[in-house]
Amino acid sequence: MTRHETDTPLPEFQLDDFLPYLMAEIATKLSDELAQGYREAGLSMPQWRVMVHLSHAGPVSVRDIERRVSLERPKVSRAAAALEQAGLVTKRPDPSDGRLIALSLTPTGRELMAKLLPRAIAYQSDLESLLGRDLAGLRRGMDKLLTKKAAQ
């Protein structure tokens, strides 16, 4: 045994039981599986998140998307610029605040989401089937964790 192994005792710790680690691993796995669908359409993860949000919320500002999809403003802005260049979104002055830019799906963007969203819905259904009766408890637990985060 080397000297440094005996200097300071470490508490018992099991990384494989550590919730933040497990949740990060699960999030990565689920995100990677879902990504197969939108990557085939040529979208990056930030672009996918922007498109999903726009398909759900309608025209919104980059600031609103940034808040909702947990991405930093530069990533949202780069994603929006690439999506605009691809003809999937339009940018216009926000009617409620002229200092902001509102994004919205173009007809081509809507067509793409009409193809991609059913895949996401099917993936969700597969996960719900896999979890079965455990889904309700998982949702309650996630709600508690999200509420805790928001309260801090």
Question: What does the pLDDT look like over 7-58, one tens digit per residue?
Answer: 888 899 999 999 999 999 999 999 999 998 899 999 999 999 999 999 988 8
Residue-level pLDDT at 19 = 93
Residue-level pLDDT at 2 = 56
Instruction: Give the integer Cα–Cα distance in Å for 129 and 123.
Output: 10
CB 75 within 8 A of CB 45: no
Residue-level pLDDT at 3 = 55
pLDDT at residue 151 tops 70? no
Which letter does DSSP use for residue 2 in this model? -
Residue 150, H or E segment: helix 134-151
DSSP sequence for 31-93 = HHHHHHHHHHTT--HHHHHHHHHHHHH-SEEHHHHHHHHT--HHHHHHHHHHHHHTTSEEEEE
Chain CA centroid to CA 134, Å = 22
Chain CA centroid to CA 72, Å = 12
This prediction has a pTM of: 0.80
